[in-house]
Chains A and B, each alone.
Chain A
């Protein structure tokens, strides 16, 4: 029973095991202050693929500039993109991600891509279409607090992850809370994130044992929720937006930085495990 409890993706980041994150740093330790002080994410667009973002929520700070919904057509064939004038969040989860990103990168523009269909038809297809749309729109950073386990979707997400990488679009994906294959969170071109329990958005760890490379604050996080509300939330999907926010700051400071350069900076400025 105990064995079954151990291998979650967040396990390397829990207090008792954090010492294992130590490694020699080939670039030494970059000075965090010189990289991040004064950075605010200006000029950066962060796409949030999730349950929608509530435009008027105070935590979003009026930075939501676009909101779309991905839907399947009448015959379940081609997914279509519909502008969501109301900018609704059907659950609250996407607003939580938006609030975390906005708190870290207040000048970044946010785009919401709602991919939760009203029923269970083709959810992987809708999710992939949302990701494709974000890449096509030139998003700088994409926050994915969800992933697909469908083997059918593997090549599609693999292709999209490569396209994003070559288009200088950084995909930041929450690892699944339960260990197991899920896409695109485990692809090398993606920044995959699990949760740690230190209550600080500015504490993040690099894990030298991939596939989940980063640990960020994701336990008992006070987040925005639908209806203008707030909740305390736990899960890898609340850790990923912290890394997405930091990536937005780096891209704001260094607009031409490629995904591997952003990843390098994140790794070289990560906290040393105490």
Chain B
């Protein structure tokens, strides 16, 4: 009788390939969703600008790796300069609102008391008035939404702060939805753990490692570039999408044919 074996030993090559395929699809879906998250956030700032009739609206999210607030999306005539700007989380109005979770509105700023003057100048637009509200989920503040210069009024009202808070709430929901279970390795680990005995933990780690090893590897970098481009194709019209599908089909068939040929010539040389 053979000794008891862990799940990794029971997995044959086909099963592992299947898990790898699932993992790859998961990562592809995640990459596509990142585009979707950005699209939703963009639609939220666009709606914000329109509703406030403002010069600009933008959303900055805290990036724990950078330790900075990064402006992800913006809308409005004066909004675009801010995208990509990273600021310290205690800098200026955005930093204050992020750090304290307190929403506020400012206007009629004297020239020497500019809100985060460096920030404003870096974007090429110095506002006269601003409202900034935090994006708060159950774990804390994840970013901020700000609106600059309402055209119909010199200042933002208390009601404007609340309204901006509603948009910030929408943005938070959108972000949370796309971030949930984004981490494929932990998802896989959770699924396998629920199937296995506790003693199988090291084996589970091995499987997770094997399945996810190549996902973010450099050798597949070009594949991810393509996935990222596909994510940008939401703007394409039906004709363009059809053309693209046909091109991809031809290329994929060619690649599969070549792989099949290699397999056959491999077999011809003898068993592995």
Contacts and interface: CB of A to CB of B under 8 A. Distances in A.
Interface string B107-140: 1111111110000000000000000011010001
Given A177-B104, A237-B104, A120 B67 contact: yes
Interface of A: 1, 4-5, 8, 10, 14, 51, 90-93, 116-120, 123, 145-150, 174, 176-178, 180, 182, 195, 197, 218-220, 222, 225-238
A90 B101 contact: no
Interface stretch (B36-44, B155-163, B188-196): B155-163
Given A177-B102, A178-B133, A116 B155 contact: no
Given A91-B95, A119-B89, A180-B136, A174 B158 contact: no
Interface in B178-221: none
A8 B108 contact: no
Nearest to B154: A232
Contacts of A118: 88, 90
Contacts of A93: 96, 104
19 contacts: A1-B166, A51-B90, A90-B91, A116-B99, A117-B99, A145-B102, A147-B101, A149-B140, A178-B162, A178-B165, A195-B158, A230-B110, A231-B108, A231-B113, A232-B106, A232-B107, A234-B156, A235-B102, A237-B100
Given A92-B113, A116-B100, 4 more contacts: A149-B101, A177-B133, A231-B113, A237-B100
B60 interface: no
Interface string B143-177: 00000000000011111011101101100000000
A238 B107 CA distance: 14
B71 interface: no
Contacts of A234: 104-107, 155-158, 161
B62 interface: yes
Interface string B75-103: 00000000000001111110110111111
Given A117-B99, A233-B106, A234-B104, A226 B133 contact: no
Contacts of A116: 90, 95-96, 99-100
B110 A177 contact: no
Contact of A178 (B62, B110, B136): B136
A46 B186 CA distance: 49
Contacts of B103: 176-178, 235
B156 to A, nearest CB: 6
Interface in B57-71: 62, 64, 67
A1 B169 CA distance: 12
Nearest to A92: B113
Nearest to A196: B158
A57 B49 CA distance: 35
A219 B158 contact: yes
A235 B102 CA distance: 8
B165 A177 contact: yes
A5 B162 contact: yes
Contact of B93 (A4, A91, A120): A91
Given A51-B96, A177-B162, A178-B162, A226 B102 contact: no
Given A4-B166, A8-B162, A91-B93, A229 B99 contact: no
A92 B64 CA distance: 25
Contacts of A226: 113
B101 A182 contact: yes
A178 B162 CA distance: 7
A234 B159 CA distance: 10
B96 A119 contact: no
A228 B113 contact: yes
Nearest to B141: A149
A123 B98 CA distance: 11
B86 to A, nearest CB: 12
A54 to B, nearest CB: 10
B108 to A, nearest CB: 4
A225 B107 CA distance: 12
A177 B133 CA distance: 9
Contacts of B165: 8, 177-178
Nearest to B107: A232
Nearest to A120: B89
Which of B99, B103, B169 has most A Cβ within 10 Å?
A: B99
A218 B157 CA distance: 10
B265 to A, nearest CB: 57
Given A8-B162, A51-B96, A180-B136, A119 B90 contact: yes
Nearest to B69: A120
Contacts of B99: 116-117, 120, 123
Contacts of B140: 149-150
Nearest to B170: A4
The 8 closest A-B pairs by CB, nearest first: A229-B113, A146-B100, A235-B104, A177-B103, A225-B113, A234-B105, A229-B110, A116-B90
